[in-house]
Chain A
Amino acid sequence: MFSTGTTYFLILVIVYILLVWGALIPFRAGLLYNGTVYCMAIGGYVAGFLSKNFDLPFIVCVLAAILVGLILGFIPALGFARTNGIVTAISSMALIFILESVIRNLDFLGGSTGMTGIHKENHLLLWAVILLIIFGVFLYRLNNSRIGRAWEAIQTDPQMAQSLGVNTFWMTVAALTLSSVFSATAGAVYAFNMRVLYPGTFSFTFLLNIMTMLFVGGRYTQWGAIISCPLLWSISVFMPTSIQKLSNYIYAVILILILMLRPEGIVTRRMTNKVKNFFTAKLSRRRQGAKA
């Protein structure tokens, strides 16, 4: 249906969107959590290992990745939920380096030379789209649920949230664990797309890309990622070859301009509310017309 290049592009964009959503959830609860790449690596290596060694189907590998990601995301979350601000940011970043170092020393995961031989999934794009829809709907419902509002309250003022009866500790743990699930899923899709894994991939640079996509797209809504991920990813890869060397500069200029002109990102809460109101009004007009 699509060319090889387009298929790769779409799958990688979906991976990035899932990761940005993974970074967005803790942000909603007021935490700058940098463990996204850590959980992505866990998901990727679990899925890759199961596919390579046990020949398991894609969806089983994804479910296993989610389960392991959930557990290994939940355990550090118990600690991170007691921290805030810069402490969370820096200590969660350390997870990336720790895991990278661990993987390098585990021969059964390929060590420093990386893991090859992950099986090919013929319908990966379709699976990726389905996962994106499932996670997108889930996140949308979550954002508009009591949990989502509790996270928003924590983000605004944790003390106030606590005085309103929100259990800030467990709400934060829930946010970080869910973030791990999103990231582990992204990691599994990534593993099947690349079919090779290398410890250096899951690095600080990858985290910077995700955070840039989050801040450029809009850090208060899930819709920003759908614009920023394809936009920023295409800069690196679809530039004319003559100016491709300048892609990093262009990337930086976009980031600076967005932060200066639209600090909330491309898609703001106001914008999403407007769109929502527009459709709600249209729908109610249609209903009224039908009744009349």
Chain B
Amino acid sequence: MKKVLALILALALCLGMLAGCQGETQPSENPDPGTETSQPSTPSGGEGDEAGEVAVDEWVIPVLSARTGAVSYVGEPAIWAAEYAAQVINEQGGIRGVPVRVEAYDTEFSGEVGAQIVSGLVDDSLFIVGCMAAPVSLAISTIVADAKVPNVGSYSYQEIRDENAPYLSGYMSDSEMGDLAAATEWIKENGYKKIVLFYTPSDTSQAATKKLFDEQLTEATGAEVVGTVEVETGTVDCGPAAVQALGYDADAYFVCMRADEAGKVINELRSRGVDDPATISATFAGFGSTLLDICGDNAEGIYIWNKLDPNYDSDEWRTLVEAYTEEFGEGPSAPPVTGYYNTLIAFKQCVEELGITGDPEKLQEERDAIANWFYNSPEIDGIQGTFSWVNGAMMTDPLMFRVENGEYVAVD
């Protein structure tokens, strides 16, 4: 009994001490990028001007991606693209004469794993690329923003970028905005009036698309979303979902899901009486060979949009496609490939324009400069044309395709 009393006394003392020394709970910093965000000064005018000597032997860039787990099929290509970009940069003489090295990390599909990895990187890193899945990026966003480390990852909606400005930017254009733009073009082109939306409610981006369609599609197109059908990741039988959609008596169907589920839904719609393939349009997450494999002839004539053009006409792109095909057996179709590649190329331009030195003593100053540069960047020569970041959002147009003879053909 005495021991218990002693223990309770010790704990009470401990709590009392804590109450005394407890710092106030700090509200998270939510600076408005347009108003209150501190705008750290750039460290120097530019390379060759007042730029200091480079203080590192190599630029080490941590690159995070989901190499295992639910989205590993795009996670591994993303890492490959970052390593390929580093190779291209090094062949051109590195960044300010110093080679770049990519340090790849697997965040799996887990917020906790991502947060743990990033928390181990933020103390020393100048710049972090990735991660790629919305739950993981949500989990790491506060860590990188607290540590004031610039991070280009899958921050595909403005709210999270605003909350943590200017440290977070997206490596590809906003998915839901792309969905809206692509759907608007498709609906106007074909004159549809009643639309059914298929989406996965557990996917943050797709849920955001649903919300955006509810709020803005009618205003943008005059068409109405007459029904939404939820299909969870991993659904084996999409027949009930198709039946539910057909019950809405709609003109057309927008399939906002990843390739596996999108393919099954398209098959079910086509086999249950949707004869005109133009009435089906799919989002970029379905783009790729998986959808064509699942659907076969059922995919012929459907619309689908993407953030990259697999048939883009440039020497740089063709060389990348060759290298990619050698590695993966087929050409790239997932947007993270161009996203990660372009981010590395942008980092090069940023370091050269700002005269970043990598000096540990100037770490925070240079991080701030890089973050601001990315948040509202100048025009950058990417692998598929020029692009820029505006308020952390990568600005690229959605590209519309139709499936013809088992291939994706760009639509003007």
Contacts and interface: CB of A to CB of B under 8 A. Distances in A.
A168 B412 CA distance: 72
Interface stretch (A72-80, A81-89, A240-248, A272-280): A240-248
Given A117-B163, A245-B106, A9 B116 contact: yes
Interface in B1-30: 4, 7, 11, 14-15, 18, 22-23, 25-28, 30
A237 interface: yes
B105 A57 contact: no
B207 A196 contact: no
A3 B123 contact: yes
Contacts of B202: 100, 104, 112, 199-200
B36 to A, nearest CB: 15
B105 A241 contact: yes
Given A137-B7, A245-B68, A248-B68, A194 B115 contact: yes
Interface in A221-268: 233, 236-237, 241, 244-245, 247-248
A129 to B, nearest CB: 10
A194 B114 CA distance: 11
A12 interface: yes
Contact of B135 (A12, A58, A200): A200
A118 interface: yes
A3 B105 CA distance: 19
Given A122-B23, A196-B142, A104 B201 contact: yes
A123 B18 contact: yes
A237 B28 CA distance: 26
Given A3-B123, A4-B119, A236-B113, A113 B15 contact: no
B12 to A, nearest CB: 11
A71 interface: no
Contact of A130 (B14, B108, B117, B141): B14
A2 to B, nearest CB: 10
B83 to A, nearest CB: 12
Contacts of A127: 18
A233 B208 CA distance: 32
A91 interface: no
A5 B14 contact: no
Nearest to A122: B23
Interface string A38-76: 000000000000010001011000000000000000000
Given A4-B122, A198-B138, A244 B106 contact: yes
Name which of A122, A137, A237 has the most chain B CB atoms within 10 A of its CB: A237
B146 interface: yes
A126 interface: yes
Contacts of A196: 111, 138-139, 141-142
B106 A201 contact: no
Nearest to B103: A241
A28 interface: no
A120 B28 contact: yes
- The size bracket of the interface on B is 35 or more
Given A117-B163, A119-B26, A198-B111, A4 B143 contact: yes
Interface string B103-130: 1111010111101110111110000000
Nearest to A100: B202
A57 B160 contact: no
A116 B119 contact: no
Contacts of A120: 25-28, 142, 146
Nearest to B202: A200
A198 B26 contact: no
B367 interface: no
Contact of A237 (B116, B123, B160, B204): B116
A143 interface: no
Interface string B81-116: 000000000000000000000011110101111011
A17 B371 CA distance: 37
Contacts of B146: 120
Interface in B194-229: 201-204, 207-208
Contacts of B14: 130
Contact of B111 (A117, A133, A201, A237): A201
A199 B139 CA distance: 12
12 contacts: A5-B123, A8-B119, A8-B143, A55-B27, A57-B25, A58-B25, A130-B18, A198-B111, A198-B204, A236-B116, A241-B103, A247-B108
Interface of B: 4, 7, 11, 14-15, 18, 22-23, 25-28, 30, 67-68, 103-106, 108, 110-113, 115-117, 119-123, 135, 138-139, 141-143, 146-147, 157, 159-160, 163, 201-204, 207-208
- Which are the 7 A-B pairs with shortest beta-carbon distances? A5-B120, A112-B207, A8-B119, A195-B142, A237-B116, A122-B23, A5-B119
Interface of A: 3-5, 7-9, 12, 51, 55, 57-58, 100, 104, 111-114, 116-123, 126-127, 130, 133-134, 137, 141, 194-196, 198-201, 205, 233, 236-237, 241, 244-245, 247-248
Given A196-B111, A201-B112, 6 more contacts: A4-B120, A8-B116, A130-B15, A134-B11, A244-B67, A245-B67
